[in-house]
Chain A
Amino acid sequence: MPGGSNSGGVGAPPSPPHAAASAPSRPLRPSRYVPVSAATAFLVGSTTLFFCFTCPWLSEQFSVAVPIYNGVIFMFVVANFCMATFMDPGIFPRAEEDEDKEDDFRAPLYKTVEIRGIQVRMKWCSTCRFYRPPRCSHCSVCDNCVEDFDHHCPWVNNCIGRRNYRYFFLFLLSLTAHIMGVFGFGLLFILYHTQQLDLVHSAVTMAVMCVAGLFFIPVAGLTGFHIVLVARGRTTNEQVTGKFRGGVNPFTNGCWKNVSHVLCSSQAPRYLGRKKQLHSVTVQPPFLRPHLTDAQLAAKVLDNGIQGDLHRSKSSLEMMESQSCDAEPPPPPKPELRYPGLSRESTLLNKAPPTPTMYKYRPTYSSPGKNHTALTHAYANQISRGDSLKESSSLLQSSQQPGFRSEPSLDGREAPGERGGAGLGGDRPGGAGSVGGAPGLGGGGIPGYSLGGRSYPSFSDPTVLSPGAGGASRSSSVRSGSAHNAAPVSEATTSTSYKSLANQTPPRNGSLSYDSLLTPSESPDFEPAAPDLSAPRAPVLGYSSPYLSAQLSQQRDVELHQPSASSVSLLSSPHRAHYLRASSSPPPPPLPERERLLQDPHHSHGHSGSRPPRFSRPPLLSDSAAPHPYPYRTRSTDAPPGPSTHPPRSPHPPPLGKSLSYSSAAAAEMQYRMVRKASASAGAGGGGGGGDEIQMKSFSRTNGQPKSSTSSSGSTPSSPCHPMNLSARPGQAYTGPGNTQSPAHKPGGGVKKVTGVGGTTYEISV
């Protein structure tokens, strides 16, 4: 099988399949082929053994139809497997320069379209240079935007999108049938040979049965999950990010039509590798763009190279985000140009450089090195806010780089409001914390996956659209669909500033690993809290929840495909799904930023709160955690000055801060509330906080950057979004820093307030 040859060719490390499968989002090249090689090996090997040892006797004893039937099914499995593996999933070619005509500064990060009456947000993809069509998402593993993105499947080492979803689905169905057949006939063989179990044939049959039995559960679980998805007309990405939770799916045409569309529609065309038709008419200038472009190409190339890290980091983020949807409910349009105010704000607030959340940041060529340095700096040295501030400023100035654009990672970060759309499933409570989002919590769809979240349509809540205050924060808050536009300028600044930074963020721990799912989450009672957040606090920290969700989903997807019960657990735990989504919120902005945000008297928390709690994740974040309105934040909140800095917030500024940034908007909101509640009760020590903070940093850092942070975030690439990661991810960076630093951080039941480095306080709901 090609997979096997690939791995052999590249000298893949001989790690066990599951190890490879659980590899971080940015694995070594060779390890990308390990899961697919393992899958191929198991499939072909077991079936061959079955045919050689079991079938001869069966065909003699019963009928020759037995091996024929099994052979046909097996052929079907292999054919679909190959198609799913090798077929282009629907990759969009990169847009050409001429399409990118809007000025960078003012080009909004999101564009809203109305689909069947529902507002859908289209995000600008800085890598591919266009606004992603609905249901399209950028896969960080493949570094491509894929149409009707479902997920990236490690078992076939390919994205599943519009063109090959059918084959993937049929592969699952046929594989389930095949496993059942092999197991059943093997059992028949054994039952007739109970007295001859010492035969080689019997032993081999039993081994094959074991393998079949082992794989049956996850495969069947995944098959069932996809059957439901097909019937509901959703993609995995949308399901796990909770986009349509409690809302209406604008892409469904009814069960029958959905199924027939998947199975019976004509094969979609590929976009890459097409022969470009030569135009008979030559284009005359004044098409000066090309010249300009050429002139800038060197700069851009240089930029790219220098920004290579950023870009790569972005891709990890994107991977996370890849799962998230771009079809999030569009945040209230906020066309302000925040940028001008950013520097001002930043100086005023002495916060991290504001990241323009709203705008795709086309980079006029500026010192890439500076930016790059700034970025790494920002991420690597979260400790000194000042540093990051400086850097972020420099970043801002020069960062018009594409990297700073609305990369998926930024998503979560940049706009709390934005998030509404981001993969979080659009739960953002439409507008001012439409409390209505809460109903979304109901576990729609597959329990495990239907994360809470506001309904998709709720995003267009007018309250959310209110032209809030404060540029950046506003946009972000708007994005989050919360009316927390009041977010102070500083917040805005912070949030915006982080957008660019967010782009660079290291992989978030977004993958709300299933661990968090498995832990009994704090219930969805978070949700009620969310609406309150829409109040005056501007959710500053509404970072990239979409991003997080993407990450989360990515992570989840990886886990899904693992032959583990994770999928089962996912399916079985609606709450988990909530968590999952929440945690998948975009990677938290660099710590300093968060801290800054938190410091903002306007309560950046509000920001998170304002985000519509797309998912009903809040439970993840400690209930007691200070109510951090920032939906993306996971539980930890940065409250450098401590509660005192947030007078408006009641108990104390919920130190959800950065951790919140991980979660989806919805989750952040909820968390915010929970944090608020918890703040009163939480007495997390500073030590714990420190550890958490470090963890958080590492999470965010891991997103895009090599883990150079103090924390040994072992988080998988997708993590930043997991608020839970802090508490629930044992294997993740969480454990690393946590072990060292936050003794207080223990899964206990309430909210732990941990003071991170630099004074950030996190409230981590254990």
Chain B
Amino acid sequence: MNHSLQDIRQQAAISAKVFIQRDYTNGTVCQFQTKFPSELENRIDKQQFEETVRTLNNLYAEAEKLGGSSYLEGCLACLTAYTIFLCMETHYEKVLKKIAKFIQEQNDKIYAPRGLLLTDPIERGLRVVSFTKTLNSH
């Protein structure tokens, strides 16, 4: 039956990607769950995974921090009728670039050798972090 075949395929497809959901226990602050997913058990070790996710969380916390720099940026934007956004990069964007670099680095050093691919959550609206299993072996 089509349906069963689809199911099989779905299951197969599902196993190819592991999604780390957002952790909302502290509200809408951008944080991801550090719980180690079972699908990755044989690929990477827990410590490594948690460290990666924690670092990501810290970076996002830095991006959303209500510090002096973000306040000044807001004031400046206000004074210039927001035209400053045409030339200047916002604080959040700067941190996002940092995050992208970090992810790239993690992929190159740690995950690619193990057959995993870490995707940038910004591509999915900061809703999930996904690990793609690049090798068929399990």
User: Do A288 and B9 have beta carbons less than 8 Å apart?
Assistant: yes
Q: Report the stretch among B42-50, B51-59, B125-133 that lies at the interface.
A: B125-133
B28 touching A134, Cβ below 8 Å: yes
Task: Find chain B residues with CB under 8 A from A364 CB.
Answer: 2-3, 6
Q: List residues of chain A with CB within 8 A of the CB of B125.
A: 92-93, 147, 271
B interface residue count range (under 10 / 10 to 19 / 20 to 34 / 35 or more): 35 or more
Asked if A267 and B10 make an inter-chain contact with CB atoms under 8 angstroms apart, the answer reads no
Q: Indicate if the CB atoms of A269 and B93 lie closer than 8 Å.
A: yes
Shortest CB–CB separation between residue A107 and chain B, in angstroms? 11
Given known pairs A99-B128, A116-B26, A292-B6, the reply for A266 and B13 (CB within 8 Å) is: no
The reply on A254 being an interface residue by CB < 8 A is no
Q: Is the CB of A276 within 8 A of B28?
A: no
In the complex the two chains form, what is the Cα distance from A265 to B77 in whole Å? 12
A134 cross-chain contacts in B, Cβ below 8 A: 24, 27-28
Tell which of B9, B28, B71 touches A251, judged by Cβ atoms closer than 8 Å.
B28
Q: Number of residue pairs across A and B with beta carbons under 8 Å?
A: 156
Interface-centre pick from A98, A291, A364 (highest chain B CB count, 10 A): A98
What's the dominant secondary structure at chain A's contact region? loop
Measured between beta carbons, the chain A residues less than 8 angstroms from B16 are 98, 283, 285-287, 289
Q: How many residues in A have their beta carbons less than 8 Å from beta carbons of B? A: 60
User: Which chain B positions have C-beta within 8 A of A135?
Assistant: 28
Instruction: Closest B residue to A282 by CB, please name it.
Output: B134
Pick out which of these stretches binds chain B: A75-83, A206-214, A502-510, A640-648.
A75-83
- A101 & B27 in contact (Cβ 8 Å cutoff): no
B64 CB contacts on chain A under 8 angstroms: 265-266
Q: Which residue of A lies closest to B5 (CB)?
A: A292
The A-contacting residues of B in range 47-97, CB under 8 angstroms, are 63-66, 69-71, 73-74, 77-78, 81-82, 85, 90-93, 96
B85 touches which one: A75, A267, A281 (CB < 8 A)?
A267
Q: CB within 8 Å of B: which of A42-98?
A: 75-76, 78-79, 82-83, 92-93, 95-96, 98
A411 touches B (CB below 8 Å):
no
Taking CB as reference atom, which chain A residue is nearest B74?
A264
In this assembly, does A113 line the interface, its C-beta being within 8 Å of a C-beta of chain B? yes
Q: Are B96 and A269 in contact, CB atoms less than 8 angstroms apart?
A: yes
Cα distance A271–B132 in the bound complex, in angstroms: 21
- The answer to whether A269 and B134 touch across the interface, beta carbons within 8 angstroms, is no
For A96, what are the chain B residues with a Cβ–Cβ distance below 8 Å? 124
Residues on the B chain within 8 Å of A260, using CB? 66, 71
> Can you list, as one digit per residue, whether each of B105-138 has a CB less than 8 Å from chain A (1) or not (0)?
0011000100001011011111110101011100
CB pair B107–A265 under 8 Å, yes or no, is no
Per-position 1/0 for A252-272, Cβ under 8 A of B:
010001001101111111010
Given that A103-B7, A283-B117 are contacting pairs, would A266 and B124 also be in contact in the complex, using a CB cutoff of 8 Å?
A: no
Inter-chain CA distance A251–B13, complex, in Å, is 36
B residues within 8 A CB of A251? 27-28
Q: Say yes or no: is A461 at the interface (Cβ < 8 Å to chain B).
A: no
CB within 8 Å for A281 and B107 given contacts A286-B12, A289-B13 = yes
Contact pattern, B 1-31, Cβ under 8 Å of A = 1, otherwise 0: 0110011011011111101001011111000
Is the pair B134, A264 in contact by a Cβ cutoff of 8 Å?
Answer: no
Kindly identify which residue among B66, B82, B112, B136 contacts A265, using a CB–CB cutoff of 8 Å.
B66
**Which B-chain residue is minimally distant from A287 (CB atoms)?**
B16
Q: Smallest CB-CB separation from A296: which chain B residue?
A: B6
B13 touches A288 (CB 8 A): yes
Closest residue on chain A to residue B83 by CB atoms: A79
Tell me which residues across on chain B come within 8 A of A282, comparing CB atoms.
Answer: 134
Given A148-B28, A251-B27, A264-B71; A279-B13 close (CB under 8 Å): no
Q: Which residues from B are CB-within-8-Å of A285? A: 16, 136
A367 to chain B, nearest CB (A): 14
Kindly list chain A residues whose C-beta atoms are within 8 Å of the C-beta of B74: 263-266
| A92 CA to B22 CA, complexed, in Å | 14
Assess the B117–A279 pair: CB atoms within 8 A. yes
Interface pairs (25), CB distance under 8 Å: A79-B82, A95-B124, A96-B124, A98-B13, A98-B17, A99-B128, A101-B17, A133-B24, A134-B27, A250-B27, A264-B71, A265-B64, A266-B63, A266-B65, A271-B124, A274-B122, A279-B119, A286-B13, A286-B15, A287-B16, A289-B12, A289-B16, A292-B9, A292-B13, A296-B6
Residues in chain A within 8 A of chain B (CB atoms)? 75-76, 78-79, 82-83, 92-93, 95-96, 98-99, 101, 103, 113-116, 120, 130, 133-135, 147-148, 167, 170, 250-251, 253, 257, 260-261, 263-269, 271, 274, 276-277, 279-292, 296, 364
Given A267-B77, A274-B122, A292-B9; 11 other pairs, CB 8 A cutoff: A113-B24, A170-B78, A264-B74, A266-B65, A266-B90, A267-B92, A282-B134, A284-B134, A288-B9, A289-B12, A292-B6
